[in-house]
Amino acid sequence: MTSITHRITGVILFVGLIFAFWALDKSLSSPAGFDAVSDALANNFLAKLIAWGLLSALAFHFVAGIKHLLMDADIGVTLEGGVKKAQITVVVSAVLIILAGVWVW
């Protein structure tokens, strides 16, 4: 389950780059643009939700990517090791997602 979720979060991050690059471009275009992006991220529910969603996808994708790198290095490639690493991936990702939510909200 973590492998397919890793792929899904990769797609979410790819699509989410549209929002991130738009916000970056707008914030760097002028002081008024920076204020608009800052205000949106501080006061707009949808902007906060998108930011939290992207951070959540990034957190899971990062942790699952480390799991895949360990598998590529033949570390814990047994069935039990795979299950344990998947559980660790979900728990660590959940903690990071909660921390991202606290930071954004």
Token reading at 13: 């991050």
CA-to-CA distance for 21 and 25, rounded, in angstroms? 6
* 6 annotated binding-site participant: no
Q: Among residues 99, 102, 69, which one has the least CA distance to residue 85? A: 69
- Sort 27 into a burial class: Cβ within 10 Å, 0-12 / 13-18 / 19+: middle
Task: Provide the 8-state DSSP code for 73.
Answer: T
CA-to-CA distance for 86 and 69, rounded, in angstroms? 13
Q: Which residues are annotated as a binding site for heme?
A: 61
Q: Which residues are annotated as a binding site?
A: 61
